[in-house]
Amino acid sequence: LRGAGAAATATISLPLTAQAAAAASELYSPAPGSLKGTTVMITGANTGLGLESAKRLASAGAKIVVAARSQAKADVAVAEIMAFTNAGSAVGVEVDLANLASVKSLPGRLEAVIGSGGAIDVLLNNAGVMAVPERLLTADGFEKTVGINHLGHFALVAALLPYLERSKSGFRIVNVSSDAHRFVDRKAMVQALETSLDPPDYAAGGWGAYGVSKAANILFTVELERRLLEKGVAGSAVTLHPGVVQTDLGRYIIGGVAAEDLHPTDVPPPTGVGAFLKENVLDRAILTVDKGANTQIYLAAAADTNGDRTKAGGLFYDKMRAVKPTDTSADPELAQRLWRLSEELTGAKIAL
């Protein structure tokens, strides 16, 4: 892991330690103009945390690339971002993380909106689904929670690495994980790896699959950062827990994928363990979307390193400060196993 750098001066005029302590009650926004010349691509930027992040990063001068499941959804989000601020700019592009053909063909569509030879400075992998109460599959036959939350984003990084490497001042990849990674012990993660991330028992209303996907986000970050360092690439990868956020949470969403896309004719409420967790844990600890977006905005702006996107990689953040994930989710051997399996399952190779 890289050593964390000093905090950048933020809109909230507090030192980093005070910002971290106040993260649940204050809003973090990068200073106006601080992200001018920075291109930030956000998956699931058409709703929830992704849309809130897009608005505040654009307000600091960033150019936002809204990556949504359909062009229509992306276009609506672009209009909303531009109505919110004229400090930055926004464009939209279609990518379906539940369809590897869509992910792998993204570069052709991306060049149409950022230009040939265009660069991405920050990739915020925000989109995902949560606790889907029945076992559903992606277009490629993967369990949908793991398929979207991890495998789709793995293939996306493979497709976008050339654009990231064009960044003149170094790039950063921000992977949105969750404290739900703590549901997964080493035995469960090994079982997931041994069953191609498709454990046969789809139990507890999808929470098991969600926990595996969030542990995978951290393990992916760990191995990605190791490879960036080994190759001497000017970039970093970080991951985070946004908190329990009042977005479409009760409808199995944490960003970017509408519940009706998963259940075209019916959107049932959580049942069993999922209902108990929602009513007794989640609903009592919920943050509003604007507060829940703090940490990923903070990391996308590289406020932890005075704007240097190449430093402080491999870390897991909560409330805008680095914290320790589980030993399982930080295990380098499991991280390498996950990387190899992800390459095999997706057919995507990240050139590192």
For residue 215, what is the domain's CATH number? 3.40.50.720
Are 296 and 218 in contact by the 8 Å Cβ rule? The answer is no
Backbone angles phi, psi at 72, to 5 degrees: -60, -45
pTM (predicted TM-score) = 0.86
Q: Is 352 inside any structural domain?
A: no
Report yes or no on 351 lying in a domain.
no
* pLDDT averaged over 10-residue windows placed end to end, the chain, 352 residues: 33 35 71 98 95 98 98 98 96 98 98 95 95 86 95 99 98 96 94 89 73 97 99 98 62 42 46 60 65 95 97 96 97 99 99 97
Residue 257 has what pLDDT? 43
CA 284 – CA 243 distance, rounded (Å): 12
Quote the domain boundaries for residue 340.
Answer: 16-346
Could you give the count of Cα atoms lying within 13 Å of 324 in the half-sphere of its Cβ? 4
Q: Is residue 23 part of a domain?
A: yes
161 lies in some domain? yes
CB-CB contact of 127 with 110 (8 Å): no
Distance CA 296, CA 11 (A): 15
- Residue 109: CB atoms within 10 Å: 15
Contact 246, 111 (CB under 8 A): no
Residue 244 contacts residue 287 (beta carbons within 8 Å): yes
The long-range contacts involving 106-115, CB below 8 angstroms and separated by at least 24 positions, are 106/67, 106/156, 106/159, 106/160, 107/159, 107/160, 107/162, 107/163, 110/65, 110/160, 110/163, 113/65, 114/39, 114/65, 114/163
Domain count, the chain: 1
Tell me, yes or no, whether 11 lies in a domain: no
Per-residue model confidence (pLDDT) at position 198: 87
Residue 27 lies in a domain: yes
In a domain, 134, yes or no: yes
Q: Is residue 188 part of a domain?
A: yes
DSSP designation for 286: P
Which residue in this structure is represented by tokens 């991280």? 335
* Structure-token match 């949908």, residue found: 144
Residues classed as catalytic: 210
* pLDDT reported for residue 202: 59
Judged on CB neighbours under 10 Å (0-12, 13-18, 19+), 112 is exposed
